[in-house]
């Protein structure tokens, strides 16, 4: 679903085309249409779609741009077509091309008169707006290929576009004139396949053009009669932003009897306290309220605490068992090292620790005795002096 809007503005023309108006197309892919689209970012898909629209509608000369000239080299009309994607379910370019050409056919620009160098712009109340001069209506038709061109599919959906091998887009009018053709996906197509797609495009374009002309004629009739038309017509039936919902019939017979039966079978209402109940000073309760669930919460918390305490007890018992096993191991038993993370730290104690300590103590005693003997000799020398 695509919403098309056309606006116009008087601007100065391009230097190389002083007698031609300007056509500008802008397609927006918002996250409202699909969550895969990012806001404020031009993706490769968006650039490709905008270029294809320009080639389909601007380069095909479907609109007479010379009729948009007001004063040669001074003022021309700039026609801007804004397309907003409302709901993405595949094949954006076909829906966008139909919305763009229909919006251009439906658009009316203000009337202008030129007297000398003076340009007068009339409001819709003063003069009827003028429609654009459209030569033909080019419409895009997409073809998806699967298994290297073995299978052909017209108007692929979003899921089908994800798994297709290649895509062929043909823009054609009801006179069977090809306006543009584009192939993407890197698939090799035969001449017979392209001719077959062009024949299918001619049939589809003829059907779509008839629908467009009928819709425009109905809009003109409704405007003359003064009924609902345009955007206001599509709102009640949910035709713009949502699919049409089927109306389910509702049986309204014996509604009162059914209501009385339901009331009689239902439980009697609880007593309602009109005045507030003072539970504690500074607090109040109006009505009965919901049942108290604090007791249930306390019981569940207690159960969780008991479970955690039991887990701690079992963990401490396991640790005690491991310590006892380590103590039972003899010193002469070999220690086996493993590469696991749990047994990363191992303390190895030497067997002959007592001898080393004795040697250290004997060395210390000898050093202390030698110091005492030296001190005695110095005292004797001082006494003789």
Instruction: Kindly list the structural domains of the chain, giving each domain's residue range(s) and its CATH number in brackets, ordered by start.
Output: 2-234 (3.30.230.70)
pLDDT band (50, 70, 90) for residue 318: low
Residue 327 has pLDDT above 70, yes or no: no
pLDDT reported for residue 316: 65
Query: Which is more confidently placed, 365 or 103?
Result: 103
pLDDT band (50, 70, 90) for residue 366: low
Measure the N-to-C terminal CA separation of the chain; round to a whole number of Å.
124
- Rounded mean pLDDT of 331-336? 51
Q: What strand order describes the sheet that includes 178-184?
A: 151-154, 139-146, 166-172, 178-184
pLDDT reported for residue 330: 47
Share of the chain above pLDDT 70, in %: 66
Instruction: Provide the whole-model pTM.
Output: 0.59
Residue 63: alpha-carbon gap to chain centroid: 36
pLDDT reported for residue 206: 93
What is the number of other CB atoms lying within 10 angstroms of the CB of residue 74? 14
- The SS3 call for residue 115 is strand
Give the burial class of 63: count Cβ atoms within 10 A of its Cβ; 0-12 exposed, 13-18 middle, 19 or more buried: buried
**pLDDT tens per residue across span 228-283:** 666 656 655 555 555 555 677 777 777 788 888 888 888 776 665 556 566 666 66
DSSP per residue, 153-216: EES--HHHHHH-SEEEEEEE-TT--EEEEEEESS----HHHHHHHHHHHHHHHHHHHHHHHHHH
Give me the helices (H) in the chain, please: 44-53, 92-106, 158-163, 191-225, 231-234, 255-265, 294-328, 353-384
**pLDDT tens per residue across span 27-60:** 988 888 888 888 777 788 888 998 999 888 888 8
pLDDT reported for residue 359: 46
Task: Tell me the C-alpha distance between 80 and 137, whole Å.
Answer: 17
Task: Tell me the C-alpha distance between 137 and 175, whole Å.
Answer: 9
**pLDDT tens per residue across span 92-130:** 999 999 999 999 998 988 888 888 778 888 888 888 888
Task: Tell me the C-alpha distance between 96 and 46, whole Å.
Answer: 12
Query: Which is more confidently placed, 340 or 24?
Result: 24
Residue 298 has pLDDT above 80, yes or no: no
């Amino acid at each position: 679903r695509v919403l098309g809007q056309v606006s116009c503005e008087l601007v100065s023309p391009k230097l190389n085309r002083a007698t031609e108006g300007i056509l500008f197309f802008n397609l927006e892919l918002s996250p409202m249409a699909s969550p895969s689209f990012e806001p404020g970012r031009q993706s490769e898909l968006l650039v490709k779609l905008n270029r294809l629209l320009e080639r389909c509608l601007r380069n095909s000369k479907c609109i007479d741009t010379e009729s948009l000239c007001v004063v040669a080299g001074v003022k021309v009309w700039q026609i801007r077509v804004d397309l907003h994607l409302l709901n993405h379910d595949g094949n954006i370019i076909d829906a966008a091309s139909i919305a763009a050409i229909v919006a251009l056919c439906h658009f009316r620009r203000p009337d202008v008169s030129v007297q000398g160098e003076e340009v007068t712009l009339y409001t819709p109340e003063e003069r009827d707006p003028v429609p654009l001069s459209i030569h033909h209506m080019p419409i895009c038709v997409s073809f998806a290929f699967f298994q290297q061109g073995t299978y052909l599919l017209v108007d692929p959906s979003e899921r089908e576009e994800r798994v297709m091998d290649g895509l062929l887009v043909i823009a054609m009018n009801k006179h069977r004139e090809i306006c543009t053709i584009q192939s993407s996906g890197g698939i090799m197509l035969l001449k017979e396949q392209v001719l077959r797609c062009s024949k299918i495009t001619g049939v589809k374009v003829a059907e779509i053009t008839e629908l467009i002309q009928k819709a425009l004629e109905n809009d003109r009739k409704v405007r003359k009669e003064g009924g609902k038309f345009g955007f206001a017509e599509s709102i009640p039936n949910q035709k713009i932003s949502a699919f049409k919902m089927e109306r389910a019939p509702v049986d309204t017979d014996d509604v009162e009897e059914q209501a009385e039966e339901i009331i009689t079978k239902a439980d009697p209402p609880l007593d309602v306290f009109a005045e507030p109940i003072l539970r504690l000073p500074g607090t109040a309760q109006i009505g009965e309220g919901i049942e108290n669930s604090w007791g249930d919460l306390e019981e569940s918390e207690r159960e969780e605490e008991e479970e955690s305490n039991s887990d701690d007890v079992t963990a401490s018992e396991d640790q005690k068992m491991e310590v006892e096993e380590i103590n039972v191991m003899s010193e002469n038993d070999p220690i086996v090292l493993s590469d696991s993370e749990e047994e990363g730290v191992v303390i190895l104690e030497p067997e002959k620790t007592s001898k080393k300590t004795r040697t250290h103590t004997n060395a210390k005693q000898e050093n202390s005795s030698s110091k005492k003997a030296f001190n005695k000799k110095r005292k004797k020398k001082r006494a003789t002096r």
